[in-house]
Structure 1
Amino acid sequence: MEETIGGRWGELFTRRYGAAVATLCLGVALYALNGFLVSTSLPTAVTELGGVDLISWAFTVYLVAAIVGGAAAAMIKHRIGTRPALMASAAAFLVGTLVAGLAGSMPMVLVGRLFQGAGEGVIAAICYALIPELFPSRLLPKVFGAEAIVWAAAAFGGPLLSGVLTETVSWRAAFLINVPLILIFVALVAVVVPPDRGERKRVAVPFLRLSGCAVGIMLVSVAGIVPHSWQAALCVAAAMAVLAGVVLLDRRSGDRLFPSDAFTFRSTVGAGLWVVLLMPLAQAATSVYLNITIQHLWGYGPTMAGYVSALMALSWSGSAILVANVARPAVQARLIRVGPFLLAVGLLGVMVALVSGQPWLLMLCQILIGTGFGLSWAFLSQAVMEAARPGERDAASGLLPTLQSGGYAIGAAVSGLVANEAGMAGAGGAAEIIHAAAWVFGVAAVLGTLGFLASFGVRRGGR
């Protein structure tokens, strides 16, 4: 009966669950806040240190390391234990923060970002894997709702905090603000995460598959900076081939990084992972091109454009809170399908709004996109976690944030490829900008539709 009756929000803040919620939310906050802190302060760092040609690599090396770390998280957890894995990852994040924050050159910043990414990738994946271990099924939507609030707070507070610290103290302060946060996280892990019982698995480190993940994501990142569209297309195609090869190789291995039914359409886990990948892949178009488009097309300033983008984060958090009390599996299954449907409709509406010059429609569609994520993401994640085959729940759970990051990376590359082919970079007037934006958001809507179709393979209460 406990599994079918929805829990109360107040339960999250009781003595039994309060510290666990704080630990997991802080783990997510480190990942979310760090991204917003660095994106705001890094231009100032480059001005002081030089190396403007390396600024994009500060994000690339972090992303590659985070995705590889996330892919390896389940293996690390089984090899050394949950608490030691989180402690070691936190130490790597701390070292990276100190190296980047105290760096005297951009290459040292890149080294720090590499350590930050590796540590935070493992932290985010293990925190996801801990959710079904530390909370009963009835509270999982509320835990994801709390994490959505953390993301929204980071989206609003991160740039503001980083901007104030950068302008009044130094860009280094914006980096080093992570130090007390990671120390608090370590203290919470020591209290909340129980010691592992039983024998740890002695698994071989899959260097080839992890290297394949790194190469695939690196190729995706390179696609965004090469000068010619054919080179970008070649990079994206090569990345897809490498990543598909990693998945196929993993299925034949005795020590898997991924669930055995990952990316098949015959199971909830396989279909669910496709939805987890495709939704951020589609939404990446708005993250990359919406702000710059409305600034050039409608004359919006950075602040106003930022508010338009923030509507998505607010809608995600608000809708996640509203549906967190839904306990019936049939209703949850419907919400899993409604989410990517609203995303696809919202992206199509963004295209229409830009073509027709209707700001009110654009804002409505941003709300639809955020609501799509908020209505479905918690139940989608829960479905994947609970449908995992015996012994594979850690791999399935830890893959969720890793795929989300990978989806944004691939989506940014695909959007860039479409934008370049449509003439976005050389657009000199409103008509050219509208033409390019229509292609970018039209393709994004198609990708969102693919996520909607994949969602029909996700079932609640079964595999």
Structure 2
Amino acid sequence: MTTASPTSVDPVPIPLDDDPGGGVLGGRYRALTLGIVSVVLVIAFEATAVNTAMPTAARQLDGVSLYAFAFSGYFTSTLFALVVSGQWCDRRGPLQPLFTGIAVFGVGLVVAGTAPGMWVFVAGRSIQGLGGGLVIVALYVVVGRAYPERLRPSVFAAFSSAWVLPSIVGPLVAGAVTQHLGWRWVFLAVPVLILLPLAVMGPALARSEREHPVAKGGGFDRRRTRLAAAAAVGAGLVQYAGQRLDPIGLIPGAAGAALLVPAVLGLLPAGTLRAVRGLPAVILLRGVSAGAFFSAEVFIPLMMTSQRGLSPTLAGLTLTSGGLTWALGSWLQGRPAAERFRVPMIRGGFVLTVVAIGGAALVLVPAVPAWVAAVAWGVGGLGMGLTIASVSVLMMKLSRPEDAGANSAALQMSDALGNVLLTGLAGVLFAALGGGSVAALHDTAEGAGSPGAFAVVFLTSIGVSLLGALLSGRVRTRT
């Protein structure tokens, strides 16, 4: 992959703007903004709803033993699709991969919703992952090509805001649908919702393609495609090994690492793992922030049910505050005056994440009220909103036009890898310290797990967040 130099980059060209003072909902950009935000909204609703419907689906399909693969199948296929989408966008523009991804995502929903057995269900989830990977990279490229630089922070803020409503009502709606209509309708109803954003943004996106034709052509890079396949298979094997937690699991774990490490080194910008100044550090910090936050978040509902006796519904609502404040953080970084404080906002976001994880961990002390975790996670959501959106803005700013797709794919890959690797590490630590298997997170009795196991998981996430804060200054290029 050709990446922008960390010390000298060509800016992404600013599109023609008939209304220089207008915003993302101004006349020129309104249809495109509403369309792409609607796509994010649909994907966000599906993501939150699936978590609610999945246990019922696995039981009715007699596939509880394959429960984890319904998630890992989505993830591994997404890794492959991210790289394919990046190349496709750079060579043909984002229109084709975006609409293809939406169609493939819809096909995956139908396959999963009509699955006669668990293996077909897992296949449907894997097809969804292919579509989701194509879509998310294409959306980032659309932002870089169709919007002037001054509006991109606001668009990324809108992306985050699109997750707020699904994070609040998604589990409730999915639970009601699962109970009264059946879990299959959680999947089969979503493809219909995709039609509206397609109709809204289609003409505006086609106009943007005409105004900004892609200079690069040709076929796909076969080497990068093979590396993407190796990364996906390697990540799947590592996840499988982490779920086994026995000596036999060392074999797929070693094989997965042998595939994953060289693939990651070949797919991410040179110097990413060394936090080289500029784009490599930006890409790395995306994975660090996502991994630290979500590896802690996955254990909070379990802690609330097993250590404090909350119902699953109340335990899940503990995380709702994070979704609301995430949108607030994204909105704050999108204000015009915030551009001068991009690096402090990223560092501050990591510090807020540290405070949030530490605050949530205090609930392990019986004298601390359970609601403290909800307040703490609101602080963490604010930090993530500042960090994630700011990192996305910097990635676009440091990307040459012909590399926007590849760099967007690298950003999303870093996010996914940081999430799965740090969550996997947390799961291993949790089980090793007497917490029990992470595979049983959705079926845990009160009193299960060890407070010490939770504490080690949270301390690990805090350490990773502190590392992110220390590295934040490296997103600044030398002048």
Q: TM-score, normalised by structure 1?
A: 0.88
CA drift of 1:237 comes to 6.7
Partner of 1:441: 458
1:368–1:199 CA distance, 2 compared to 1 (3 A) = closer
Q: Structure 2: how far apart are the matches of 1:176 and 1:328?
A: 42
1:263–1:273 CA contact under 8 A, matched in 2: no
C-alpha spacing 1:431/1:32, structure 2 compared with 1 (3 Å): closer
Give, as a single letter, the amino acid of the residue that structure 2 aligns with 1:214: A
Note closer, same or farther for the CA distance 1:145–1:264 as it changes in structure 2 (3 Å cut).
Answer: same
Q: Show structure 1 runs of 5+ residues with no match.
A: 251-256
CA deviation string 1:438-459 (max 9, x = no partner): 1110111111111112212012
- Closer/same/farther in 2, CA of residues 81 and 400 from structure 1, 3 Å limit: same
**1:349 partner letter:** G
The CA deviation at 1:10 is: 7.3
Using the TM superposition, give the Cα deviation of residue 148 of structure 1 relative to its aligned residue in structure 2, in angstroms: 1.2
In structure 1, the partner of 2:474 is: 457
1:115 deviation in Å?
1.1
Gaps of 5+ in 2: 1-12, 438-443
Counterpart position of 1:178? 190
Q: State the partner residue of 1:147.
A: 159
Distance change >3 Å, CA 220–CA 24, structure 1 → 2: farther
Change (3 A) 1:75 1:235: same
Equivalent residue in structure 1 for 2:67, among 43, 46, 55: 55
Mapped partners of 1:79, 1:294: distance in 2? 48
Q: CA deviation at 1:281?
A: 0.8
How far 1:17 sits from its partner (Å)?
1.1
The change in CA–CA distance for 1:17 and 1:389 in structure 2 (over 3 A counts) is closer
Residues 48-447 of structure 1 mapped to structure 2, 5 A cutoff: 48-194=60-206, 195=209, 197=213, 198=215, 200-206=217-223, 207-228=225-246, 239=256, 242-248=259-265, 250=266, 257-260=267-270, 262-355=272-365, 357-359=367-369, 360-389=371-400, 391-425=402-436, 433-447=450-464
Check whether the contact 2:306–2:445 (CA below 8 A) recurs between aligned residues: no
Moved more, 30-39 or 269-278: 30-39
CA contact (8 A) 2:36 2:201 kept: no
Shift of 1:202: 2.3
Q: In the alignment, which residue of structure 2 is the partner of 1:254?
A: none
Conserved 8 A contact 2:358-2:458: yes
The letter of the residue matching 2:158 is A
Q: Deviations over 1:393-417 (max 9, x none)?
A: 2221233333323322222211101
Amino acid at match of 1:449: L
Deviations for 1:76-114, whole angstroms, at most 9, x for unmatched residues? Answer: 223444212222222211221111112222222122111
Cα distance 1:300–1:428, how it changes in 2: closer, same or farther (>3 A)? closer
The one-letter code of the counterpart of 1:446 is G
Structure-1 separation of matches of 2:233 and 2:300: 29
The equivalent of 2:440 in structure 1 is none
> How far apart in 2 are the matches of 1:378 and 1:366?
18
Amino acid at match of 2:452: H
Deviation at 1:121, TM superposition (A): 0.8
Contact 2:271 2:280 survives alignment (8 Å): yes
CA change 1:327–1:397 in 2 (3 A) is farther
Equivalent position SS for 2:290: helix
8 Å CA contact 1:155–1:313 kept in 2: the answer is yes
- Tell me, in whole angstroms, the C-alpha distance in 2 between the residues paired with 1:370 and 1:182: 27
* Whole-Å separation in 2 of the counterparts to 1:191 and 1:384: 27
Conserved 8 A contact 2:332-2:338 = no
Q: Offset at 1:186?
A: 3.2
Amino acid at match of 2:359: G
Q: Measure, in 2, the Cα distance between the counterparts of 1:79 and 1:10.
A: 30
Query: Structure 2: how far apart are the matches of 1:210 and 1:163?
Result: 36
Q: Which moved more, 1:404-413 or 1:433-442?
A: 404-413
TM-fit CA distance, 1:49: 2.4
Identity of aligned residues (%): 27
CA drift of 1:282 comes to 1.0
1:241 deviation in Å?
Answer: 5.1
Residue identity matched to 2:82:
G
Q: Which moved more, 1:150-159 or 1:196-205?
A: 196-205
CA RMSD of aligned residues (A): 2.9
Structure 1, residues 294-348: CA drift from partner, whole Å, max 9, x if none? 2111111122212211111111112322342143543122111111121123223
